[in-house]
Every structure is written in C-alpha cells, then in structure tokens.
C-alpha cells in the first residue's frame, strides 16, 4: 500500500539537529500524522530551501515546522516564500545556547509571521502539538486525538499529585 502523503514538513538546518527534532517526529507519529523530515539550510542550500517552500502547498503540505540553531533563518525563509503556517523551533546548538536562535526566529517583520515555540526539545515537541492543533481546525478526528491527549496529561498530573503527600512525608522522615 502506498505511504500516505505528508501533511507536515519537518525541516532542520543540519543533520546535527536530528537528535532534538526526532522528538518532534515522535509526537507527530503518536498522533498518526504523516510527515516528511528534511535537511534544508537557509544559508547553505538557499535555492533548495526556497524551492521547497514555494512547492510545499502544491504537494499537500499543510504546516511547515522549521528548526535551526545559531543565526536561525530557516523558518523565516520558509515564511518568505509561502503563506502556509510556519512554526519555528530555535535550537541550542551554538555557544549562545539558543538565545540567538530564539531571537532570529521570533522577531519577524509584520505580515510574515513565524509561530515560534520554545528552545530545544520542549519546543520540538510543542511544534508538533501546535501543528496538529492547526490541522485539527478542519479535521474532527485529529481534534478528538488532541482532546484525548489532554485528558491523558490531566490524569497523569492528578496521579502524580496524589502521591506528593506520601513523598513529602518520606523526605521529611529521611527515608
């Protein structure tokens, strides 16, 4: 059977970003969302990056997630060439630990937005959750999966909260 066409493009500025962005792919797989993952660089392969952005909508891509570190212009470059929603993930791959990538990604000029999530692994996962939320606007099945995921998180937190008094007692009693 043919693979389903990707609905989300997960882009990275370098293969060295893969360990963090695997977390994004994992979340998309948990939701059952078909995606593609590619290395494209705003600086080192600018023609290919622009071409990808221009053609993405025609290929059925609904949301672009773009991750990069340092002078992180990949998400902004995508947004310059497409009106698809673009989610930027700043990565902590330089000596400035992602603060550079955060500012490079988030500070877009009016009219060409990049929805920027947090730095690193947390942002990588949230980019996937946000992409699903965007697609769920027109997809009831995805919306139900989002609701179910939130319910699971709530149960997990309540379960942990329930054992905190016992943990506190153990700490105070030196056990």
119 binds ligand RP5 (CB under 6 A): no
The residue behind tokens 């990604």 is: 105
Radius of gyration of the chain from Cα atoms? 19
Residue 134 and residue 62 in contact, taking contact as beta carbons nearer than 8 Å = yes
97 binds ligand RP5 (CB under 6 A): no
126 binds ligand RP5 (CB under 6 A): no
Binding mask 55-74 toward ligand RP5 (x if CB under 6 A, else -) reads -------------xxx----
Looking at 12-20, 29-37, 77-85, 158-166, which segment touches ligand RP5 (CB under 6 A)? 12-20
As a whole number of angstroms, the distance between CA 82 and CA 2 comes to 27
Looking at 10-18, 27-35, 122-130, 153-161, which segment touches ligand RP5 (CB under 6 A)? 10-18
CB of 55 to ligand RP5, least distance (A): 22
Burial class (CB in 10 A: 0-12, 13-18, 19+), 134: middle
Which residues are within 8 A (CB) of 172 and not within 5 positions of it... i.e. 6 or more apart? none
Q: Is 95 helix (H, G, I), strand (E, B) or coil?
A: coil
Looking at 2-10, 13-21, 82-90, 165-173, which segment touches ligand RP5 (CB under 6 A)? 13-21
16 binds ligand RP5 (CB under 6 A): yes
Residue 116 and residue 88 in contact, taking contact as beta carbons nearer than 8 Å = yes
44 versus 169: smaller Cβ distance to ligand RP5: 44
CB of 50 to ligand RP5, least distance (A): 16
Which tokens belong to 125? 């996962």
88 binds ligand RP5 (CB under 6 A): no
Q: How far, rounded to the nearest angstrom, does the alpha carbon of residue 146 sit from its chain's CA centroid? A: 15
17 binds ligand RP5 (CB under 6 A): yes
The residue behind tokens 């059925």 is: 60
Instruction: Select the residue whose beta carbon is closest to ligand RP5 and give its number.
Output: 13
Binding positions for ligand RP5, rule: CB under 6 A: 13-14, 16-17, 41, 68-70, 91, 93
């Amino acid at each position: 059977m043919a693979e389903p066409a990707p609905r989300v493009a997960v882009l990275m500025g370098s293969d060295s970003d893969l360990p963090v962005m695997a977390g994004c792919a994992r979340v998309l797989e948990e939701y059952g969302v078909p995606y593609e993952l590619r290395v494209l660089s705003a600086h080192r392969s600018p023609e290919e990056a622009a071409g990808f952005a221009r053609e993405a909508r025609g290929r059925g891509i609904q949301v672009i997630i773009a991750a990069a570190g340092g002078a992180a212009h990949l998400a902004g470059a995508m947004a310059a060439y497409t009106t698809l929603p673009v989610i930027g993930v700043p990565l902590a791959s330089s000596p400035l630990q992602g603060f550079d990538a955060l500012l490079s990604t988030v500070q877009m000029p009016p009219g060409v937005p990049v929805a920027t999530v947090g730095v690193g692994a947390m942002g990588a996962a949230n980019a996937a959750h946000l992409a699903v939320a965007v697609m769920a606007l027109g997809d009831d099945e995805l919306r139900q999966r989002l609701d179910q995921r939130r319910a699971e998180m709530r149960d997990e937190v309540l379960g942990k909260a329930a054992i905190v008094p016992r943990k506190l007692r153990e700490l105070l009693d030196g056990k």
